[in-house]
Amino acid sequence: LAGLAATASSGVSGSYDYRLGVSVWFRSLFALDPDVAAMRQAPLVYQVHALLAMALFTLWPFSRLVHAFTAPLGYLVRPYIVYRSRGRTVPPGGPRARRARR
């Protein structure tokens, strides 16, 4: 949603070109020499978008989203909530000495 808001705001106003500011800052991160001035001049919506992206990448390994890398095919078709049934405990010589269905 933050990316859509940034795109919509740049389409409406058209005054800020993210390729001259945010892109320069993003490339400077890969060079391990962050250009803080490039991001400081960006509108607030771009700064929030970058902050939320960093938070997502930081939290990814500790969330359920990490399973997208460990088992990508099973992750696509698995149910959102995994239910596990527990069999009823029946006394061995009781009146209903049947096994519970699984």
Query: Which of 15-19, 60-64, 74-78 bottoms out in mean pLDDT, i.e. has the lowest?
Result: 74-78
Q: Provide the whole-model pTM.
A: 0.55
pLDDT in tens, 16-52: 777 777 888 888 888 999 888 888 888 888 889 889 9
Of 43, 44, 22, nearest in space to 34 by CA: 22
In the chain, where the domains are located:
2-77
Q: Report the range out of 34-43, 74-83, 88-97 with the highest average pLDDT.
A: 34-43
pLDDT at 38: 84
- Secondary-structure percent of the chain, ordered helix, strand, coil, rounded to 5: 55, 0, 45
Distance between CA 13 and CA 76 in Å, rounded?
39
- The confidence score (pLDDT) of residue 82 equals 66
The mean predicted confidence, pLDDT, of the chain is 76
**Which of 14, 76, 25 has its CA nearest to residue 54?**
25
Measured from the Cβ of residue 95, the count of other Cβ atoms closer than 10 Å reads 7
